[in-house]
Structure 1
């Protein structure tokens, strides 16, 4: 039974990531091999697109295993587990919300605000996990580093890619 709990804990956070990836991969295509994302102004330190899937799978799996360690350390869904696991669930929902905001709405400012809130929630989760189980807290450190990196990418994209709708409105007024 413990193996099922470990596997479930690892798969759960990946479900939202995989669902977002599958759904939005089809939404961002412009042509056969190119997407609107390819046309954005991005910094030279932007990783290739193929890095994101494996990176997030590793990060989600680490988060899931960390949540399992907290669950086990607290003896299940006990009073002691309420705060860390609630924080975990909240930051996981925030994590899953970033992709539809960025890729679906293409609202880079809102995506930056959202990832900032997510980062705060992830820090709170890391502290709460670490207070229950040091390994669980440590497993979230690469996630925090990646969120910092993703936040800086989001900021750069927001600052260097004005919304298309704004440009279209200005173009119509000048005619």
Structure 2
């Protein structure tokens, strides 16, 4: 149980890191043209907090089911790493580089790698895979939103 809790907490902290390292530039975001269906800014933190918890649960389950990732496929581990890096890169790209086109590309990478992560998680645990579905749905929504913001601000 200690290993499960440790992996959960480490994963949660790692996925939350970009928000700490690269705080959202609220003034920049407020100045961007956004679609009418853009969610309220308060919703983003709540949704990501829940999604990071679900990702962390999924990773902890796979960790236990694969003897500490020793039996996990290289594909699962590589996709998890790419997904993590792309997820972390978004805040830097959007709010430090202020590059909506690259932010859109990054969200697309997150969505695709999330779908792949679900696929590569199924052999270990269907529950762990299902825990990633909200992440996929939100990532797809974020991709459409990022594309719309990019197009409105070119």
TM-score of the superposed pair, with normalisation by structure 2: 0.89
2:9 paired with 1:11:
yes
Q: Distance in 2 between matches of 1:109 and 1:119?
A: 16
2:22 paired with 1:24:
yes
Among 107, 123, 135, the residue aligned to 2:115: 123
Which structure 2 residue ranges, 5 or more long, are not aligned? none
Look at both structures and tell me which one has the larger radius of gyration over its CA atoms: 1
Q: Distance in 1 between matches of 2:85 and 2:10?
A: 11
Q: Distance in 2 between matches of 1:75 and 1:16?
A: 21
Q: Higher relative contact order by CA 8 Å / sep ≥ 6: 1 or 2? A: 2
Number of residue pairs matched by the alignment: 154
Q: Distance in 2 between matches of 1:48 and 1:20?
A: 20
Q: Distance in 2 between matches of 1:99 and 1:48?
A: 17
Q: Distance in 1 between matches of 2:130 and 2:54?
A: 10
Which structure 1 residue ranges, 5 or more long, are not aligned? 30-34, 163-175
SS at match of 2:72: helix
List aligned pairs for 1:4-153, cutoff 5 A.
5-25=3-23, 28-29=25-26, 35-153=27-145
**After the TM superposition, which segments of 4 or more aligned residues of structure 1 sit over 2 Å from their partners?**
5-25, 79-83
TM-score of the superposed pair, with normalisation by structure 1: 0.79
Q: Distance in 2 between matches of 1:138 and 1:95?
A: 19
Contact in 2 for aligned 1:13/1:92 (Cα 8 Å) = no
